[in-house]
Structure 1
Amino acid sequence: MDWGKGITLTLVAFAAIMITMVTICVKQDDIHLVTHDYYEQEIKYQEQIDRMINASHLDMNAIEYHEGIKSLSLHLKVGSVGTLHFFRPSDARLDRKIDFEILEINSNSVDLSSLKEGYWRVKMTWKEGGKEFYLEKKINI
């Protein structure tokens, strides 16, 4: 084989590999944005900072994860209303949101056995006594 054929075969092989890679990338459909309204949330981030500051002034652990029984306990005052967002960074299709209202001091447990095993971020936003709070906890189920 002479140099001309070797260079031609190398260029053809390179072009075939590039076309294959582009085709694979175009057909990939499991890419998900973290949120669909990213820019709108970015503008409202100062409100989020205020919620985080309010939560940092609390003298209690508002979220407690019990690994053995796959349960989450909320230590909030009666009358607290909010949302738990179970965020799975690796797959947005697994995300879950649960609204809650603390009516009794003993009704503050959430069963997590239905969630897929792995790394989760629990994002809790709640309102208590006219103030809004935000707390985030990383758990591994």
Structure 2
Amino acid sequence: MDWGKGIVIVIAVFVMLMAGLVTICVKQDDIHLVTQNYYEEEIKYQDQIDKIVNANTLDYEVLTYNTQVKRVVMNLPLGSKGTLHLFRPSDARLDKKIEFQLINLDENTVDVSSLKSGYWKVKLTWEENGIAYYEEKKINI
């Protein structure tokens, strides 16, 4: 075998390898962005920072996760209203958003046992007495 055949074989193998990798990349359909409107949320991020600062001033833990019964407990006062976002970083199709308004204390728990096991972020945005708050907790179900 001479140099010419060796070079042709190497180039042919390289082209087939690249074609295979491109085909694999194009066929992937489970790539999800963290959010669909990324730039709009980036502009509004100062509001998010203010909500986080407000939540850090509270002297009690707002979100707790009970691993035995698989429930997320929101320790909020009556009259609070907001959104609980159960965020799955690996698959946006599994995300859940729950709107709430606490009228009685029995409504402050959310059963998460029906969710797919794995890593989740629980994002709680709420408002009480005209002040907005945000807290996030990472859980494994």
Q: With the length of structure 1 as denominator, give the TM-score of the two structures.
A: 0.96
Determine what percentage of the aligned residue pairs are the same residue: 58
State the 1:5 CA deviation.
1.0
- Structure 1 unaligned segments of length 5 or more: list them: none
Alignment match, 1:136 = 136
Instruction: Please list the CA deviations of residues 75-133 of structure 1 after superposition, one character each: whole Å capped at 9, or x if unmatched.
Output: 10000001000111111111110111111123311100111100111000001011000
d(CA) in 2 for partners of 1:87 and 1:78? 25
Equivalenced residues, count: 141
Ranges of 4+ aligned residues in structure 1 off by more than 6 Å: none
Secondary structure (helix, strand or coil) at the match of 1:106 reads helix
d(CA) in 1 for partners of 2:122 and 2:13? 48
- Structure 2 unaligned segments of length 5 or more: list them: none
Alignment match, 1:50 = 50
State the 1:13 CA deviation.
0.8
Alignment match, 1:89 = 89
d(CA) in 1 for partners of 2:92 and 2:39? 18
Q: Please tell me the residue identity of whatever aligns with 1:24.
A: I
d(CA) in 2 for partners of 1:106 and 1:27? 47
Q: Please tell me the residue identity of whatever aligns with 1:21.
A: L
Which of 23-32 and 109-118 deviates more?
23-32
Where does 1:53-68 land on structure 2 (aligned, <5 Å)? 53-68=53-68
The alignment status of 1:31 with 2:31, answered yes or no, reads yes
State the 1:48 CA deviation.
0.5
Q: With the length of structure 2 as denominator, give the TM-score of the two structures.
A: 0.96
The alignment status of 1:101 with 2:101, answered yes or no, reads yes
Q: CA RMSD in A?
A: 0.9
State the 1:70 CA deviation.
0.5
Secondary structure (helix, strand or coil) at the match of 2:59 reads coil
